[in-house]
């Protein structure tokens, strides 16, 4: 397959691109490098510098069978401070990309949606039928694109799949998380373990959970990438499907930090800070639909594996 991967220089996108290259697909990465890294684009993938907004012009003359669309702004706090940026980058950009698809020959698209579309859930584990009530502009932007894809599919113009990621962690093929600034728990804790930060704060310990800290469902980035390949194979023109991707098991922030201490054999300086605005208490996925329809079963469900893989890549990068 000839596959266009937007955002293929980012953490998840580069690993999706690598898995596609490994499985013999012809991959082109489109990325504006606003947050991604040129050296994360796998050898064997073509690279085009630019925004998804300009896909039609930048990719004129190229033909694709399918698109994996990950290019987006993805910081929840930033989306609250600057919602217009999320409308422009995520919603307008996706609309322009979708408008360019026919000219590029592609009739299948896999989209990186998010657990953030659900907001504060009524019930866990969260199924795809749960009400989508985002509590921040980031989640709202992902939900808007899910709606756009559903509409395009119903018009018979596209086969689309929205993958709603829960909390992604780990590394694959030497590629790990490299955000600047970093806001995610696992890389922050690993940087603290390595002495790159003095320590870290737990954002609230008064949630209604077993130890008072937020519960999240962590999924290994390589398992997540595998779901994209399965979704590409099963995307059917005229149809839009949504899948939640997690392991169905929740870990509290404290449990994650204990796992980091165990894997790294270092102790962390941890303080308790205030809650972070917009953090739901518990987010755990039901991925039963992905299992039955995509045949997708995570191969690396252990949080220790995710942390160990991320740790190895962080150490290698620092050496
Ligand atoms: N946390 C801390 N201290 C830190 C960093 C995080 O206590 O220094 C806590 C957060 O409050 C949260 C948990 O660790 O309870 C996980 O936080 P992350 O920032 O790692 O991940 P989120 O759950 O906030 O975000 C993830 C994705 C987002 C997505 C969101 C859906 O990264 O893209 O899930 O809610 F929008």
- 65, with CB counted inside 10 A (0-12, 13-18, 19+), is middle
Displacement of CA 81 from its chain's centroid (Å): 21
pLDDT over 90 at 134, yes or no: yes
Domains of the chain: 2-169+219-245 (3.40.50.720), 185-216+248-318 (3.90.25.10)
**Minimal-distance CA residue to ligand 1 atom 29:** 116
Can you give the pLDDT at residue 194?
Answer: 97
**Contact between 8 and 27 (Cβ < 8 Å):** yes
Average pLDDT over residues 135-152: 97
What is the pLDDT at residue 41? 98
Ligand 1: atom nearest CA of 276 is 11
The answer, yes or no, to whether residue 318 has pLDDT greater than 90, is no
Residue whose Cα lies nearest atom 19 of ligand 1: it is 184
- Ligand 1 atom 25: residue of nearest CA: 167
- Of all protein residues, the one whose alpha carbon is nearest to atom 7 of ligand 1 is 202
Residue-level pLDDT at 319:
81
Task: Check whether 293 has a pLDDT greater than 90.
Answer: yes
Ligand 1 binding pocket mutation candidate from 184, 190, 219, 258 (most atoms within 8 A of CB): 184
pLDDT at position 141 over 90: yes
Per-residue pLDDT reduced to its tens digit, 8-66: 999 999 999 999 999 999 999 999 999 999 999 999 999 999 999 999 999 999 999 99
Catalytic hit among 86, 138, 218, 243: 138
Q: Which two tokens stand for residue 77?
A: 């706090």
What is the whole-number distance in angstroms between the Cα of residue 184 and the centre of ligand 1? 5
pLDDT at 278 over 90: no
The ligand 1 atom at the shortest distance from the C-alpha of residue 189 is 8
Distance 319 CA to ligand 1 centre (A): 28
Cα first-last separation, the chain: 37
Does position 310 have pLDDT exceeding 90, yes or no? Answer: yes
pLDDT confidence of residue 277: 86
Ligand 1: centre distance to CA 173 (Å) = 24
Give the confidence band of 1 by pLDDT, cuts at 50, 70, 90.
very high
List, for residues 209-245, the tens digit of each pLDDT value: 999 999 999 999 999 999 999 999 999 999 999 999 9
- The model's pLDDT over 65-124, given as tens digits with 9 standing for 90+, comes to 999 999 999 999 999 999 999 999 999 999 999 999 999 999 999 999 999 999 999 999
- Binning pLDDT at 50, 70 and 90, where does residue 156 land? very high
Q: How many CA atoms lie within 13 A of 111 on its CB side?
A: 30
Residues with CB under 6 A from ligand 1: 74, 76, 114-116, 138, 167, 183-185, 188, 200-203, 214, 216, 253, 276, 279, 283
Is residue 11 part of the annotated active site? The answer reads no
Sheet holding 215-216, edge to edge: 251-252, 215-216, 282-283
Rounded Cα distance between 98 and 31, Å, is 16
Q: What is the model's pLDDT at position 38?
A: 98
Quick one: average pLDDT of 188-204?
97
Q: Are 280 and 214 in contact (CB under 8 A)?
A: yes
Question: Distance, CA 244 to ligand 1 centroid (Å)?
Answer: 17
Q: Which atom of ligand 1 is nearest to the CA of 215?
A: 15
Cα–ligand 1 centroid distance for 111 (angstroms): 21
Whether the model clears a pTM of 0.75, i.e. scores above it, the answer is yes
Does the pLDDT value for residue 190 go beyond 90? Answer: yes
């Amino acid at each position: 397959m000839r596959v266009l991967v937007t955002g293929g220089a980012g953490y998840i996108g580069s690993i999706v691109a690598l898995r596609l290259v490994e499985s013999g697909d012809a991959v082109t990465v489109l990325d504006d490098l606003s947050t991604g890294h040129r050296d994360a684009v796998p050898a064997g993938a073509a690279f085009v510098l630019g925004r998804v907004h300009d896909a039609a012009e930048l990719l004129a003359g190229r033909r694709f069978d399918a698109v994996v669309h990950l290019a987006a702004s993805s910081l929840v706090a930033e989306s609250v401070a600057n919602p217009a940026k999320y409308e422009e980058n995520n919603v307008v950009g996706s609309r322009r990309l979708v408008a360019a698809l026919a000219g590029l020959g592609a009739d299948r698209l896999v989209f990186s949606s998010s657990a953030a579309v659900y907001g504060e859930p009524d019930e866990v584990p969260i199924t795809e039928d749960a009400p989508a009530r985002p509590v921040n502009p980031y989640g709202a932007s992902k939900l808007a694109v899910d709606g756009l894809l559903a509409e395009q599919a119903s018009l018979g113009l596209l086969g689309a799949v929205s993958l709603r990621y829960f909390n992604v962690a780990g590394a694959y093929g030497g590629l790990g998380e490299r955000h600047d600034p970093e806001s995610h728990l696992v890389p922050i804790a690993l940087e603290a373990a390595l002495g790159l930060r003095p320590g870290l704060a737990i954002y609230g310990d008064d949630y209604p959970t077993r130890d008072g800290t937020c519960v999240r469902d962590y999924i290994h980035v390589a398992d997540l990438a595998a779901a994209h390949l399965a979704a590409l194979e099963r995307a059917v023109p005229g149809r839009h499907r949504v899948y939640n991707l997690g392991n169905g098991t929740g870990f509290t922030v404290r449990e994650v930090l204990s796992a980091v201490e165990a894997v790294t054999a270092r102790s962390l300086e941890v303080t308790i800070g205030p809650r972070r605005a917009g953090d739901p208490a518990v987010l755990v996925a039901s991925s039963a639909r992905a299992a039955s329809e995509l045949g997708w079963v995570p191969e690396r469900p252990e949080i220790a594996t995710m942390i160990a893989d991320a740790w190895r890549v962080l150490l290698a990068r620092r050496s």
